[in-house]
Chain A
Amino acid sequence: SQTIHQWPATLVQPVGSPLSLECTVEGTSNPNLYWYRQAAGRGLQLLFYSVGIGQISSEVPQNLSASRPQDRQFILSSKKLLLSDSGFYLCAWSVGGRGTEAFFGQGTRLTVV
């Protein structure tokens, strides 16, 4: 069966420090991969998605970047964190094509201080 791993679960980082969040998926090949952010409200904001290795689409221009160095690995990064980067970050995957469900990881609670 497929599983998704996301780490760390919680992270407290000072302003201006770098960030690296990692997500891996097991049990499937060539998944679509996504990074979402959930701020103080409840909405899910799509940050990046990837349909293949090295293929990254950015939905919202900001202080973050994403990379997909391997088929089932998706990394969210920042060179210098801002206070406004605080939030709950969620990785998700889906099979390719239209009309399929997405499966979420357990999330990373990031607090920038």
Chain B
Amino acid sequence: GENVEQHPSTLSVQEGDSAVIKCTYSDSASNYFPWYKQELGKGPQLIIDIRSNVGEKKDQRIAVTLNKTAKHFSLHITETQPEDSAVYFCAATGYSTLTFGKGTMLLVSP
């Protein structure tokens, strides 16, 4: 089955800096890669996704890149703000279920 590795497990940045979270996957047949943000005590919320026919996607301060050859994809957050502090999960599809990475705790200091 699919295996998703996510790094780093914790990331601390100063407000205004950029943050990058990286994931690799194992199943070359996977074609959908969402990113979720989970705030404390809440369920994960989809923030951006990318499909395998696209190399990059951007939504305001958030961007995701995908390298299908290398089987890795990354989340980029620019001009970070304290409200970006949360746990971020990457995921990749299997045939019926999403496989998630173990999460990255992002801490943005004012």
Closest chain A residue, CB of each to CB of B101: A43
A104 to B100, CA, bound (A): 13
Q: CB of B97 within 8 A of chain A?
A: yes
Interface residues of A in 80-113 (CB under 8 A from B): 90, 92, 94, 98-107, 109
> What are 30 A-B interface contacts by the 8 Å CB criterion?
A6-B43, A32-B97, A42-B102, A42-B103, A42-B105, A43-B103, A44-B103, A46-B97, A51-B96, A90-B44, A92-B43, A94-B98, A98-B95, A99-B31, A99-B32, A99-B51, A99-B93, A100-B32, A100-B93, A101-B32, A101-B34, A101-B46, A101-B49, A103-B46, A104-B43, A104-B45, A105-B43, A106-B43, A107-B41, A107-B42
Which B residues lie at the A interface, using CB under 8 A? 9, 31-32, 34, 36, 41-46, 49, 51, 87, 89, 91, 93, 95-98, 100, 102-103, 105
